[in-house]
Amino acid sequence: MIKPASNPTLKSRPAGLGLNSMLLGLCLCVLGLRCVVTESPVATTSAGSLNTYDLAYSLVLSFVLIAAAALWLIRTMCRRQMGYQATGLGIGAVLLGIAAVAATFSAPDKRSAISGCLIFLTPMLLCALLVQLLDSLDKIRLILIALGALGLLCTYECADQYFFTNQNTIDQYERDPTSLLQVVGIDAGTLEHFLFEHRLYSRGVNGFFTTRNSAGAFLLVALVALLTLWSEQKTNQSKEAASRGVGLFVPLLFIMVLMGLVLTRSKAAIGSLCLAGLVGALHFRWRGRVRRHWKTVLLSLVLAALLGTALLVSYGLRHDRLPGGNSMLVRWQYWRATCQMIADHPFLGVGPGNFADAYYRYKPMTAIESIADPHNVLLSLLSQYGPLGLLGFLAMIAIPILRGRVQVSSERTASRAKDPGPSKHRFLAYTFVLATFLLCAKPGIAQFMGDDPLLVVLSAFMHTLVLVAGLLVLATAAAALSQNDGAPESHRVVTAVLSYGIVALLVANMTDFAIFEPGVATSFWALVACLIARRNLQQQISLRPFAVPVRYGWVFLLVVCLVLCFVFAVLPVVRTSYHVGLSNKALTNGNLRGSQRHLNRAADWDRLSDAALYRQGRLYLQDFLQGDRRDRTALRTAKDCFLQAIARNPSAYKSYEKLSNVCSLLGEEQAAIAAGERAIRLYPQSERLHFELASVFEGAGRVADAIEHYRLAIEIEDQFQKQFREMYPSHGAPVSRLGKAKLASAQERLARLEQRPMDR
């Protein structure tokens, strides 16, 4: 048995400190990289995405975190006795893991499900690893310092976008709209063109993230980290620190990051911060009563949240929208469709990463956009992982918060939590490692993505300067606390700030998907790790012994699992992304055959993904349409590609749509009709699919069916334009989602066919 440690610094583990320090540095590097390089893996799960390398990049970083956790576990297993710090994540992790495995096996698109699970779960694994590594208050402060400095860097990027970049992009677009539209792959005069202009002229500020709400959520995490340092500083202010003016450093950075949050104009993040601040102020105002009756207070807050939700749902059902602007109108549509999806898949959901394909089946006819997430963390988990997954996720957050609350309120808090070692040197060392890594890694990644090397290097240099400045300022402030003895009052304040901050981020994600973006998720779970580690230190919770009868057998099994994870979950996506990138490059150079050859290799490397086959089928179809139409070899090859894509992912309507087009060109009318009807079952509110199927029915002489689908296409288009006029009354003529030419054609054909009642 391992004897309980006499203090929370865990000096009884000298053998692992070197490895632990390296792993902590690695975790900091991954955290920093994810917060300064945009990741949008959700967008790459759909076939035909332009974001070629995003998914591979996210999976590689996720695997690095898995490897780091495995390395720590192997090192621990190889010692004579094994011990770990309690995390409180176990019950929730088991529930979520079971739900994730079951949902993955039931998902139609297995590759998206595997990738979605890996990217979603690894930040939680990072949390568990950090709890083992954060064995001193200095190291906890180091994580908070990194989050605060990264928040300052994000603020710098937001300010640059707000004052310079956005206007430059607008000027470039107004000079030559066509060139910019070609870069993003949008045709002029379409709905996508309107949405592009709408976002462009709204001057959205998103920092290093995909949306302004995601940037706001990350800045909220940074503000919580800075507020935690600030609150610890205020409750343990030393005269020496005050005389040097160190006490002003953290609040100054807090104000700067708060200004960055304001620049994002993220209503969800700003509203959650205000709500958490109000509740926190009331808590500290009556902290004695709250501590004595915390269960009643917690129950009251939960009941208030349920009552507020019931009132909003009631309002939405009566008015078919939520109070607020256009954003709340479309969110009500997202949520109603998602609830229908959950009703059809009540136990396992549609599977991780499969929401985007499944949403088309439930998408309202008036909806302007298609989405890959319902913009609500609870509905997202329910729809993709089922109720067991949602329960596990909430347990992983609630149990650590409540355990800390119970232990603090029971007055069993230890009186001391001293830190060992020269904290100033530690802060400087990690600052050097993080800054050097980002300065070297970011240009290489951006150049691999195809960006301009010179601009990337200059940008990375400026970002590194801002990051280093923030790290050094915060490290100086934290160094003044390194000799602090961790008083109980300080622990209570810090625990409350972290708890309210974590809950505030969850509340912000009631109307957004930011927590599923890797950078936000990683920083969020780093905050959770700080809360758990702080509780363990203050309570002087020692290592828990864990008997491993056959240590090296378990080590071998762990290594095998790690290799299998890389071979089956990461390597196929990396190789496929590489060949898809080469295919795009060959296509740009006019080498169609070379492009098709690389897509063949991509499809062979990943037997679960339909993306390469879908691209390949489109290329062969394009080759036929632009070449000699008498040679139908390309059409037959395209048909085979779409059939194989459907076999790999039967939930993607696009493959059925293209298969219907190909069969129609081949003269296989029944096959074209069957594929078109299947596409409409997967996307029933698509006016384009109804128009195409009506054309096939008309060619086959089935006039009644053609009339029905022409009417549906026109009806859906009319309903869409009606909502468009309501949302954008100043735009003038509404944008046509079907296209003006096709809409006019549908109306003309319908009128002509209705004049032939005897032929129906």
The region of weakest confidence among 151-160, 367-376, 474-483 is: 474-483
pLDDT at 538 over 80: no
pLDDT at 464 over 50: yes
Partners of 545 in the beta sheet? 83
Q: How far is CA 250 from CA 227, 367, 431, 471, 534, in A?
A: 8, 45, 17, 11, 20
- Across 19-28, 48-57, 238-247, 562-571, which has the greatest mean pLDDT? 562-571
pLDDT at 413: 41
pLDDT at 587: 87
Indicate left, alpha or beta for 349 from its phi (over 0: left) and psi (-120 to 50: alpha).
Answer: left
- The H or E element that residue 82 is part of is strand 82-84
pLDDT one-digit tens code per residue, 85-110: 888 899 999 999 999 999 999 999 99
Helix (H, G, I), strand (E, B) or coil at 421: coil
pLDDT one-digit tens code per residue, 15-71: 445 788 889 988 998 998 899 888 876 654 433 444 578 889 999 999 999 999 999
DSSP 569: I
**CB within 8 Å of 663: residues ≥ 6 apart:** 639, 669, 671, 672, 675
pLDDT at 405 over 60: no
Express as a percent the part of the chain with pLDDT over 70. 85
Domain limits, the chain: 81-163+176-548, 591-759
Crossing angle of the two packed helices 191-201 and 166-175, in degrees rounded to 10: 140
Which burial class, exposed, middle or buried, applies to 571 when counting CB atoms under 10 A from its CB (0-12, 13-18, 19+)?
Answer: middle
Question: Cα–Cα distance between 459 and 49 in angstroms, integer?
Answer: 27
pLDDT at 189 over 90: no
SS3 percent helix, strand, coil of the chain, rounded to 5, is: 75, 0, 25
Question: Cα–Cα distance between 603 and 212 in angstroms, integer?
Answer: 35
Which CATH code is given to the segment(s) 591-759? 1.25.40.10
Q: What is the mean pLDDT of the chain?
A: 84
Which amino acid is residue 483, in one-letter code? Q
pLDDT at 12: 39
The stretch 577-590 carries a mean pLDDT of 89
Quick one: tokens of 424?
A: 């100033």
Question: Cα–Cα distance between 83 and 77 in angstroms, integer?
Answer: 9
Question: Cα–Cα distance between 504 and 160 in angstroms, integer?
Answer: 27
pLDDT one-digit tens code per residue, 360-398: 999 998 888 889 999 999 999 999 999 999 999 999 999
Q: What is the pTM of this model?
A: 0.90
Backbone angles phi and psi of 286, in degrees to 5: -120, 45
Expressed in angstroms, the distance from the first to the final Cα of the chain is 85
Q: Name all contacts of 695-703 with Cβ < 8 Å and 24+ positions apart.
A: 695/664, 696/660, 696/664, 696/669, 696/672, 697/673, 698/749, 698/753, 699/664, 699/669, 700/669, 700/673, 703/753, 703/756, 703/759, 703/760
pLDDT at 9: 40
Name the band, by pLDDT with cuts 50, 70 and 90, for residue 3. Answer: very low
pLDDT at 369: 85
- Buried-state track 687-708, b at ≥16 Cβ within 10 A, e below 16: bbbbbbbbbbbbeeebbebbbb
pLDDT one-digit tens code per residue, 63-85: 999 999 999 988 887 775 556 78
The stretch 473-478 carries a mean pLDDT of 76
Question: Cα–Cα distance between 507 and 509 in angstroms, integer?
Answer: 5
pLDDT at 81: 57
pLDDT at 165: 87
Quick one: tokens of 414?
A: 């230890």
- Across 230-239, 459-468, 584-593, 672-681, which has the greatest mean pLDDT? 672-681
Beta strands in 368-511 (DSSP E): none
Helix (H, G, I), strand (E, B) or coil at 724: helix
Which burial class, exposed, middle or buried, applies to 428 when counting CB atoms under 10 A from its CB (0-12, 13-18, 19+)?
Answer: middle
DSSP 163: I
Stated length of the chain: 760
The stretch 499-528 carries a mean pLDDT of 93
DSSP 134: -
- Across 83-97, 188-202, 273-287, 599-613, which has the greatest mean pLDDT? 599-613
Helix (H, G, I), strand (E, B) or coil at 84: strand
pLDDT at 182: 76
The region of weakest confidence among 405-409, 618-622, 642-646, 699-703 is: 405-409
Half-sphere exposure of 10 (CA within 13 A, CB side): 27
